[in-house]
């Protein structure tokens, strides 16, 4: 299987190279040349598999340049650190309403699903090629922590994570800055997540620098992340009561469109999912897109669900590619216009598969309380956004993207209890080590140059 760029001006690469490269050299994002199909018979056979085996079976269609035994080993290692035996348990709240718990990984957020695997893929690559790799990413909170945990202490790797200083939750910051590993560099940037993301894009556009330091991107643009996220949709779909499967709507708290894109791609691979609800917080560019067809950038307003405080959704370009009938010339045109005007009008997107909801910040504590009162179940502020406009008639699976213990203040305010988790308690006793840096490509490049492996 080869992977091509959404902008059509980069060579097609095999899986390992596309993963190592991250952003395509022409500025586009990698996608499979063709989406493989999973007919009903294949799905029936997959229903028997446990999570790691399901993941390996799914990836076989894509990672054709890694031998099966090696890939099985990497997957097993990636999910061994999860604290729940089912990895992604599907918990019923009512007959028709399930929660897919994606927070049993080492950093207690869904991003561990992709980043544990990505860390092991990087390590494998370093070994196989006898090279080092420097990983660079920008985070609004959970990505950084999950990426760092994916590479913690791995020989031949260093990881540089940009995050907006003062705009990630205190425990999220601790998950990045209290890790006591000497290959980890949390960089506190003055500015918003979008400023960090803009600097990151500029650095990745600098080919010479990128090649010199064998830089790889770890943010949600990496192809391996999107594919790893497809697997938990598949797992949930296979575990639903058969009568609900074709009718199910996945409700996805999202900011960067990474999570929901993965579900939609799985649907395009022939898994009969009814649709997706794109659940945003008050930073609602995606809500506006799916209700009006207009994608228009606005300012970021910090919220109680900080991992969704994003306006420019980086995975949007992948969706766009499919929506212009996979015409890379159109993608280039649209992205160039969008860069200067900040607006794009979708003509004909897959309206049938999407609905959207928006959750104002002030609603979040009330929703947490309502879900707790109705179901005795505590949701984190991101997951709460998915409950903003629940339709009880439709079978739904809400993706629970973080463990409530990551956001104890909001939970305490909402329901009067402070959820705890051992892994977070340990961090509170360790010193914070962070590196303040200006949100400018030059300053960031210099920092990396001085410390790259
Ligand atoms: C990252 C994150 C999100 C948003 O994910 P997208 O990639 O933007 O879809 C939602 N909730 C939590 C807890 C997160 O960490």
pLDDT in tens, 239-249: 999 999 999 99
Answer whether residue 181 shows pLDDT above 70: yes
Contacts of residue 115, defined as CB under 8 A and 6 or more positions apart, other chains included, come to 143, 146, 147, 149, 150, 218, 225
Q: Which of 105, 108, 110 maximizes ligand 1 atoms within 8 Å of its Cβ, making it the mutation to test the pocket? A: 110
- Which ligand 1 atom lies nearest to the CA of residue 220? 7
Q: Give the per-residue pLDDT at 63.
A: 97
Q: By three-state DSSP, how is residue 61 classified?
A: coil
- Classify burial at 387, counting beta carbons within 10 Å of its beta carbon; exposed 0-12, middle 13-18, buried 19 or more: buried
56 in a domain, yes or no? no
47 in a domain, yes or no? no
Rounded to an integer, the average pLDDT of 321-342 is: 92
pLDDT interval class at 301 (50, 70, 90): confident
Ligand 1, atom 12: nearest CA belongs to which residue? 401
Answer whether residue 219 shows pLDDT above 90: no
Rounded to an integer, the average pLDDT of 25-33 is: 93
316 in a domain, yes or no? yes
Q: What is the DSSP string of 118-141?
A: HHHHHHHHHHHHT--EEEEEE-SS
pLDDT interval class at 262 (50, 70, 90): very high
- Structural domain total, the chain: 1
The rounded Å distance from CA 230 to ligand 1 centre is 14
Contacts of residue 119, defined as CB under 8 A and 6 or more positions apart, other chains included, come to 78, 147, 149, 150, 151, 152, 154
Pocket of ligand 1 (CB under 6 A): 109, 111, 142, 220, 253-259, 307-308, 382, 401-402
Structural domain boundaries enclosing 313: 90-109+224-419
Ligand 1, atom 7: nearest CA belongs to which residue? 258
51 in a domain, yes or no? no
- Which ligand 1 atom lies nearest to the CA of residue 260? 9
Q: By three-state DSSP, how is residue 336 classified?
A: helix
Answer whether residue 220 shows pLDDT above 70: no
Answer whether residue 442 shows pLDDT above 90: yes
Report the CATH number at residue 388. 3.40.50.1100
Q: Give the per-residue pLDDT at 265.
A: 97
Q: Which residue has the higher pLDDT, 351 or 289?
A: 289
Alpha carbon distance 38, 16 (integer Å): 22
- Which ligand 1 atom lies nearest to the CA of residue 255? 8
84 in a domain, yes or no? no
Token pair in block for residue 392: 């009880």
Ligand 1, atom 14: nearest CA belongs to which residue? 307
Active-site residue, selected from the candidate residues 2, 96, 111, 339: 111
289 in a domain, yes or no? yes
- Which ligand 1 atom lies nearest to the CA of residue 259? 9
30 in a domain, yes or no? no
277 belongs to the catalytic site: no
Are the C-beta atoms of 163 and 196 separated by less than 8 Å? yes
Token pair in block for residue 331: 């993608």
- Only one residue has tokens 């957020």, namely 109
The rounded Å distance from CA 260 to ligand 1 centre is 10
Token pair in block for residue 49: 């598999």
Alpha carbon distance 286, 304 (integer Å): 18
Answer whether residue 180 shows pLDDT above 70: yes
Are the C-beta atoms of 372 and 421 separated by less than 8 Å? no
Are the C-beta atoms of 268 and 278 separated by less than 8 Å? no
208 in a domain, yes or no? no
**From start to end of 206-288, where are the E strands?**
215-217, 249-253, 275-280
Ligand 1, atom 15: nearest CA belongs to which residue? 142
């Amino acid at each position: 299987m080869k992977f091509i760029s959404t902008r059509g001006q980069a060579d097609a690469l095999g899986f390992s190279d596309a993963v190592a490269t991250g952003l395509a050299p022409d500025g586009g994002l990698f996608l499979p040349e063709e989406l493989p199909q999973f007919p009903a018979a294949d799905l029936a056979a997959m229903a028997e598999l446990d999570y790691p085996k399901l993941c390996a079976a799914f990836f076989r269609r894509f990672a054709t340049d890694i031998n099966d035994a090696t890939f099985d080993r990497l997957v097993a290692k990636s999910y061994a650190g999860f604290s729940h035996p089912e990895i992604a348990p599907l918990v019923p709240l009512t007959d028709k309403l399930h929660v897919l718990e994606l927070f049993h990984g080492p950093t207690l957020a869904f991003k561990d699903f992709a980043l544990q695997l990505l860390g092991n893929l990087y390590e494998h690559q370093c070994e196989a090629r006898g090279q080092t790799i420097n990983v660079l990413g920008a985070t609004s909170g959970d990505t950084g922590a999950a990426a760092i945990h994916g590479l913690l202490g791995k020989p031949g790797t260093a990881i540089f994570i940009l995050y907006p200083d003062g705009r990630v939750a205190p425990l999220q910051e601790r998950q990045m800055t209290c890790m006591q590993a000497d290959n980890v560099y949390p960089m506190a940037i003055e500015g918003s997540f979008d400023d960090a993301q803009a600097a990151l894009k500029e650095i990745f556009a600098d080919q010479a620098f990128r090649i010199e330091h064998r830089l790889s991107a770890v943010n949600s643009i990496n192809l391996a992340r999107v594919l790893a996220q497809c697997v938990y949709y598949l797992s949930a779909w296979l575990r639903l009561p058969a009568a609900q499967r074709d009718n199910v709507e996945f409700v996805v708290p999202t900011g960067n469109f990474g999570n929901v894109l993965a579900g939609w791609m799985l649907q395009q691979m022939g898994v009969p999912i009814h649709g997706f609800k794109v659940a945003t917080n008050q930073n609602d560019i995606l809500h506006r897109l799916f209700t009006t067809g207009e994608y228009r950038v606005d300012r970021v307003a910090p919220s109680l669900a900080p991992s969704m405080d994003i306006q420019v959704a980086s995975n949007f370009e992948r969706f766009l590619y499919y929506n212009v009938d996979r015409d890379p010339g159109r993608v280039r045109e649209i992205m160039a216009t969008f860069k200067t005007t900040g607006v794009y009008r979708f003509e004909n997107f897959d309206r049938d598969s999407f609905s959207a909801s928006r959750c104002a910040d002030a609603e979040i504590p009330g929703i947490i309380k309502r879900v707790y009162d109705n179901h005795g179940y505590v949701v984190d502020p991101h997951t709460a956004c998915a409950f903003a406009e629940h339709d009880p008639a439709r079978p739904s699976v809400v993706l629970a993207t973080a463990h409530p213990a990551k956001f104890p203040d909001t939970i305490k305010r909402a329901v009067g209890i402070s959820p705890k988790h051992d892994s977070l308690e340990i961090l509170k006793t360790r010193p914070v080590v962070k590196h303040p840096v200006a949100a400018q490509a030059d300053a960031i490049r210099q920092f990396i140059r001085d410390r790259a492996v």
